[in-house]
Structures are given as structure tokens and as C-alpha cells.
A = this chain, B = another copy of it.
Amino acid sequence: MNEKNRQAGRPRATSTFLANTPEPPYYAVIFSNVRTEQDPRGYAAMADQMVELAFRQPGFLGVESVRDVEGQGITVSYWESEEAIQAWKADTAHQVAQAKGKADWYADYRLRVALVQRENPR
């Protein structure tokens, strides 16, 4: 069995940025947002903490997150089920972060929940 087959057909990523999600179906939460200029240090600390917490949530499959120099950001988190998404939404520490995000950190955002149906081969 060659190296590729040992990895169940999954090419190795050249970057840790890309989430190593399993075969679909699974869920994606697409959070597109625009940062205010408020509180960059507080925001960064909370963002790091939320990623750390998300990794410990049941059903969490990974996350990809980018922010550009203008403060525009997209974070896509991947989940096994709707139930896993709901549990993360209801998490106490995450709710504090959500409230602070709405009040201070985000000028605008949209949050879409989607069922990933297929992945194109590279």
C-alpha cells in the first residue's frame, strides 16, 4: 500500500490553514464579517480562545479563518451535525463572545449554515 492509500486517499495539505475535513456530508458555518476598529487586543484574545474552545466541542471537524488588512473576515467552521452547531452556539463562553461581537467588534456580519454535499478533488 502506498503512502497515499495509507492516508485514505487524502492528499497531504501543504499548509495547516486548510481544515482536514472527512468525506461529506457534514456542515459548514460560514461567518462573513467586518471588524470595527475597536479593541484589537481584546478581540484577538477572544478569537484565539474561541478557536481553542471550538476544538474541544463534540462534533467539531475543523476551521478555516482569514482576515484581510481592511478588517474583512471569513471564518468557516465545520461540524458533524446540526446538534453540534446548536450546542456550540449555546456554549456559555461562546455566548459572551457573541454578545461582545454584536455590540463592539463587528460592524456587520452574516452567518450561514450549510450542508457540505461534495468536495472537488484537487
Contact = CB atoms under 8 A, between A and B. Distances in A.
A24 B112 contact: yes
Interface of A: 13-15, 17-19, 21, 24, 28, 30, 32, 34, 64-69, 72-74, 76, 102, 107-120, 122
Contacts of A114: 28, 114-117
25 contacts: A13-B108, A15-B72, A15-B107, A17-B32, A18-B32, A18-B34, A19-B32, A19-B110, A28-B28, A66-B66, A66-B68, A66-B73, A66-B74, A68-B68, A76-B76, A108-B122, A110-B119, A110-B122, A111-B120, A112-B120, A113-B117, A113-B118, A113-B119, A115-B115, A115-B117
